[in-house]
Amino acid sequence: MTDAPIAARRSTLRTHHGDTFDDPYEWLRDKESTEVIAHLESENEYTQQELAHLSELRETLFHEIKGRVQETDLSVPTRRGDWWYYSRSEEGAQYGIHCRTAAVADDWTPPVLEPGVPVPGEVVLLDGNVKAEGHEFFSLGAFDTSDDATLLLWSTDFEGDELYTVHVRDLRTGEVLADEIPDTGSAFFTPDGTGIVYTTRDDAWRPDTLWLHRLGTPLADDVRLFHEPDEKFWLGAGITRSRRYLVIAVGSSITSEEHLVDLAGDLTAPPRVVWPRREGVEYSLDHAVVDGEDRLYILHNDGALDFELVAVDASDPQGERRVVVPHEPGRRLLGMDAFRDFATVEYRSEGLERVGLLDYATDAIEDVTFDEPLYSAGVSGNPEWHSPFLRLGYTSFVTPATVYELDLSTRELVLRKQVAVLGGYDPQDYDQRRAWATASDGTLVPISLVWRRSFGEPGDTPRPVHLYGYGSYEHSIDPGFSVARLSELDRGMVFAVAHVRGGGEMGRQWYEDGKLLQKRNTFTDFVACAEQLVADGVTAPSLLVAEGGSAGGLLMGAITNLAPELFAGVLAAVPFVDALTTILDPSLPLTVIEWDEWGDPLHDPDVYEYMKSYTPYENIGDGSTYPRILAVTSLNDSRVAYVEPAKWVAALRAAGARDVLLKCEMVAGHGGVSGRYNSWKERAFELAWILDTVGLA
């Protein structure tokens, strides 16, 4: 048995606004150092040693997850042009296989494909398993076919750093063209199929430039279509469903600006701005043709906290705005998709996602309704400008991922597919509900609960609870099904989500109240949810495990400092636990664009003081009072560097934490390992630790 790795302490002074912090573990940031790599490997070896007693449980959990998945399966085909596109998986294969088969001209009903049964006329476009051969990590980025269906574009990442290399294949001959473009972000074909539009990043990993590459020409001749110099703004691009405009979108966390290029003209012509950027104003658009007139439908928050939808003349977008869906406090408009004859509006009300159909003639919205009290629903996979069906994705904590199509002539919801869960899964064996906690300022914070009925109602007797949280970027943790979660529920665990401020579950104000100089609300809300579950008899501190990842990992570090006695264990995935150090350094990837979310501590002493008061790494208390901690990270993570949890773990041990572990994937990125079997094994590893922590191992 080896002892826990002890990182050497080496003074690194950081001075800002008259405050000096001596960081003893900053030397771990040198990713090229053999000493740093050796330290990370020793952490992995120690974690493996300390959790060796769970090896059998991990194997059991992996086989439970695997046993519930229909390994050979297919997606519901999506029509684009004269083809049905779909992906399929095969038993024993890590990655998906992307295919197509010819469509009958007027038949919009997707063919029913049976798992394991050969598809007539199938054309394999890309087999991820073949592309991944010889690589420990594989991620498929862009995937596009030209409008005439003769060319395929795809991009690959073999490191996990989210820098992709674009490739092109001629589907008529099978030839891979010489047009290979490295270090890209997004990429797609021009409508005429003669070029590729793609983004590249700056040294801070920010997508900042949009390029046009003409097939068959040298990369050196690529045309720069747009460059965003402001380091607070990222860039993205796409083509409207109408195929009329190239939309170039730039945005920060709180401000956006969109530009149009009319594809009926010269793609390299200077784009025209729709609405000039104004600090704090966000908007997004889509294009429609109504009564022969080109319209832009713009979703915005200019004087409308929860957003409103307006229509403008596409030739004069800064002219008169006609309100289509007015602002309604508490109804957060999320998105709008324009089709030939109607549009969809997605919004959030009472904490749930909803979908409505917008009538162009009357501006009336007709809601698509579902029966469950907690669910997630959204528009999904509708590339065609005109179709008699609207495809929707649906799920809940107890309902597996489901694909519906709404028959637009009858308004009937047609079930196209529900993901099979093997092993006799019956949704009636499980239940879900919402509870509420009262925050320290009196705010009611929602908690979602899901459990197996045979163990009784939560609150009958204290039970193990797995409490998840995030609470940043207005990102909502919506109801969703998880095969892996069944292994917890079937052992008596209650799974819960704390919908804390900083997320978007309860509207835009919910987000505003959990960011910048109100960020502490995110942490105290989570503690309040944990305390409420204990007070209601749902659980006890010795039975409560918390989990969060990325910005949710910051939440985990903060609640560990705030209320260590309230939790038996804390699982922090790719955790943003050294937030102040990162946000102070504009040379680090993605730092400057984060200032709208966290504040700018480099130039604002109040932000510096506030962040220093909560950032987990700098606020560790008496480690002997801390719960068990497992931190999981990846060496090639370009969003939250491995050094943050590595420093945090070192500092926790130095403070006397008795059971703190670090697991670092040496070839992976922010999303962890690649491949479905590897992902299942990774989740089995984490679940075994959770179950062991609450005595269910």
* Residue 647: CATH number of its domain: 3.40.50.1820
Has residue 390 got a pLDDT over 80?
yes
Has residue 671 got a pLDDT over 90?
no
Q: What per-residue confidence (pLDDT) applies to 672?
A: 78
The C-alpha angle 622, 626, 630, rounded to 5 degrees, equals: 130
Nearest residue to 290 (alpha-carbon basis) of 344, 361, 345, 357: 361
With 0.85 as the threshold, say if the pTM is over it.
yes
Average pLDDT estimate for 396-418: 97
Is 324 among the domain residues? no
Average pLDDT estimate for 557-575: 98
Tell the residue number behind the tokens 């590459």, with chain if given. Answer: 213
Is the domain of 53 the same as that of 154?
no
pLDDT in tens, 286-343: 999 999 999 999 999 999 999 999 999 999 999 999 999 999 999 999 999 999 999 9
Is the domain of 145 the same as that of 40?
no
Q: What per-residue confidence (pLDDT) applies to 204?
A: 86
Query: What span, in angstroms and rounded, lies between the C-alpha atoms of 296 and 313?
Result: 6
Cα torsion through 407, 409, 412, 418, rounded to 10 = 0
Give the CATH number of the domain where residue 196 resides. Answer: 2.130.10.120
Would you call 526 helix, strand, or coil by DSSP? helix
**Do residues 519 and 576 lie in contact, with contact meaning Cβ atoms separated by under 8 Å?**
no
Query: What span, in angstroms and rounded, lies between the C-alpha atoms of 617 and 583?
Result: 13
Is the domain of 38 the same as that of 159?
no
Has residue 670 got a pLDDT over 80?
no
**Do residues 65 and 684 lie in contact, with contact meaning Cβ atoms separated by under 8 Å?**
yes
Has residue 668 got a pLDDT over 80?
no
Instruction: Say which amino acid occupies 401.
Output: A
586 vs 390 pLDDT, higher one = 390
**Do residues 526 and 470 lie in contact, with contact meaning Cβ atoms separated by under 8 Å?**
no
Has residue 345 got a pLDDT over 90?
yes
Average pLDDT estimate for 655-659: 96
Is 92 among the domain residues? no
Has residue 585 got a pLDDT over 90?
yes
**Structural domain ending residue among the three candidates 251, 281, 311:** 281
Q: What per-residue confidence (pLDDT) applies to 669?
A: 75
The C-alpha angle 423, 424, 428, rounded to 5 degrees, equals: 140
Q: Return the DSSP state at 697.
A: -
Regarding beta strands 412-418 and 444-452, do their DSSP bridges make them parallel or antiparallel, or are they unpaired? unpaired
Instruction: Say which amino acid occupies 534.
Output: V
The C-alpha angle 459, 460, 461, rounded to 5 degrees, equals: 90
Average pLDDT estimate for 358-375: 96
Q: What per-residue confidence (pLDDT) applies to 637?
A: 80
Is the domain of 37 the same as that of 152?
no
Q: What per-residue confidence (pLDDT) applies to 674?
A: 87
Is the domain of 174 the same as that of 270?
yes
Dihedrals phi, psi of 194, to nearest 5 degrees: -95, -10
Has residue 61 got a pLDDT over 90?
yes
pLDDT in tens, 174-207: 999 999 999 999 999 999 999 999 999 998 889 9
Q: What per-residue confidence (pLDDT) applies to 496?
A: 98
| Other Cβ atoms closer than 10 A to 255 | 18
Is the domain of 166 the same as that of 17?
no
Average pLDDT estimate for 512-523: 98
Is 88 among the domain residues? no
Is 433 among the domain residues? yes
Q: What per-residue confidence (pLDDT) applies to 650?
A: 98
Is 104 among the domain residues? no
Catalytic residues: 550, 637, 670
Averaged confidence pLDDT in the chain: 96
Average pLDDT estimate for 476-482: 97
**Structural domain ending residue among the three candidates 281, 305, 334:** 281
Is 128 among the domain residues? no
Q: What per-residue confidence (pLDDT) applies to 667?
A: 84
Range of the structural domain that residue 35 is part of: 13-66+427-693
Length of the chain: 697
Quote helix, strand, coil % in the chain, to nearest 5: 20, 35, 45
Is the domain of 145 the same as that of 262?
yes
Q: What per-residue confidence (pLDDT) applies to 479?
A: 97
Q: Which run of H or E residues covers position 28?
A: none
User: Dmax of the chain from CA atoms?
Assistant: 77
Percentage of residues in the chain with pLDDT exceeding 70?
100
pLDDT in tens, 441-456: 999 999 999 999 999 9
Name the pLDDT band for 689 (thresholds 50, 70, 90): very high
Domain count within the chain: 2
Query: What span, in angstroms and rounded, lies between the C-alpha atoms of 203 and 87?
Result: 35
Is the domain of 513 the same as that of 641?
yes
Is the domain of 604 the same as that of 517?
yes
Q: What per-residue confidence (pLDDT) applies to 412?
A: 96
Is the domain of 666 the same as that of 586?
yes
Query: What span, in angstroms and rounded, lies between the C-alpha atoms of 171 and 98?
Result: 13
**Structural domain ending residue among the three candidates 247, 281, 315:** 281
Has residue 590 got a pLDDT over 90?
no
Average pLDDT estimate for 267-278: 97
Is 558 among the domain residues? yes
pLDDT in tens, 277-291: 999 999 999 999 999
Name the pLDDT band for 638 (thresholds 50, 70, 90): confident
Average pLDDT estimate for 534-552: 98
Is the domain of 62 the same as that of 162?
no
pLDDT in tens, 93-138: 999 999 999 999 889 999 999 999 999 999 999 999 999 999 999 9
Is 80 among the domain residues? no
